[in-house]
Structure 1
């Protein structure tokens, strides 16, 4: 059972880590090289795409999606989608994809005259699953080596840690007041049952012992 317990806890921890890593905002230092709009037919990976722009048709099987193409400081390419999140999950309440596309288009630069930007996003890039992180903001920075503190993610993680501690304290108090006394009562009941069982066995042994003694006495030959 110990291995099962730790396996379940490990899987739960990995799920929580993956959920937070996908949902919490991250910022990449990149150089934007192009913006594009593509018609996307959604399939098995549709869960990794956001909803259509607020106010547009949501029943279509395909739609146009804005993309931002960029280059990292190490020269590797990265592509972001630019979709509204609306009022759904994750709660970025992003309604300005068109404005963000215009800002990104204005920051396009070349390798000869680079313009480095901090592109805020959530989600993952997977070529195997054909999924892209969703851009939620962009701003120009001094250079590719700038260091940015993820204040939003830190704030959310601190709140989650405090909530976890609070729930743990509630559980500890509930266990101390309710579960532990109940377990003690059950343990005392089982002890009483064991004591009665031991007493019954002792009485049975005594009875059988007396019976053996009587039978042994009856089988002994009389003294001459």
Structure 2
């Protein structure tokens, strides 16, 4: 049983880590090389795209016109973002300005000969073989490729979540001290009384049987 509980604990921890890693905002310093729209096949990976009711039209073939932002990292590796409104779905970024973000990203395009570096805030993962792209939330210029803006949004969200979990833990402890622990103590005391009565009844029964047996032998 212990190994099973350990497995459940590890599985829960990994699930929470992956959930937070996908949902929390991240910042990358990159150089924008291209911005464009593309008809994209939405199939089994639809969970990693915005809902259809956020303003994006999807045709009968399951294709959707999605905005993309091509970038290059300081180490020369490419990194591609999608640019979709999120609406009210999870994660709750309430993004409705993908057109404005597309225009801003287009204005910040640069070449390797005259690079202009930007910090893009996004959430999600980039998985090439599943055609999964992080969703860009904001973009702003930075001084150079070595600039790494501090990720205040993720820190604030984690602090709020930690405070919320601490409050739940405190409420649970108070509920346990006021309700569960007294009930358990009362149940233990009741069980002890029942056990004591059973022992006394057993002793009385044994005494009666002993007296009956001694009386029978004395005849």
Report the Cα distance in structure 1 between the residues aligned to 2:122 and 2:92, rounded to whole angstroms: 13
**Matched residue, 1:125:** 126
Assess, with a 3 A threshold, how the Cα gap between structure 1 residues 146 and 47 changes in structure 2: closer, same or farther. Answer: same
Q: Which moved more, 1:1-10 or 1:175-184?
A: 1-10
Q: CA deviation at 1:70?
A: 1.2
1:185 aligns with 2:165: no
Q: CA deviation at 1:179?
A: 0.7
Assess, with a 3 A threshold, how the Cα gap between structure 1 residues 56 and 64 changes in structure 2: closer, same or farther. Answer: closer
**Matched residue, 2:196:** 195
**Matched residue, 2:9:** 9
**Matched residue, 1:221:** none
**Matched residue, 1:27:** 27
Kindly indicate whether the alpha-carbon contact (under 8 Å) linking 1:51 and 1:58 is maintained by their aligned counterparts in 2.
no
Secondary structure at 2:129 match in 1: coil
Report the Cα distance in structure 2 between the residues aligned to 1:28 and 1:117, rounded to whole angstroms: 8
Secondary structure at 2:43 match in 1: coil
Deviations 1:177-219 (A, max 9, x none): 111111111111111121122222222332333344345445x
Q: Which runs of 4+ in 1 moved over 6 A?
A: none
**Matched residue, 1:100:** 101
Kindly indicate whether the alpha-carbon contact (under 8 Å) linking 1:53 and 1:95 is maintained by their aligned counterparts in 2.
no
**Matched residue, 2:74:** 73
Secondary structure at 1:128 match in 2: helix
Q: CA deviation at 1:21?
A: 1.5
Mark the runs of 5 or more structure 2 residues left unpaired by the alignment.
none
Provide TM-score, normalisation by structure 2. 0.89
Report the Cα distance in structure 2 between the residues aligned to 1:124 and 1:54, rounded to whole angstroms: 20
**What is the RMSD of the two structures over their aligned residues, measured on CA atoms?**
2.2
Provide TM-score, normalisation by structure 1. 0.87
Report the Cα distance in structure 2 between the residues aligned to 1:53 and 1:100, rounded to whole angstroms: 20
Q: CA deviation at 1:176?
A: 0.8
Q: CA deviation at 1:9?
A: 3.4
Report the Cα distance in structure 1 between the residues aligned to 2:43 and 2:148, rounded to whole angstroms: 38
**Matched residue, 1:45:** 45
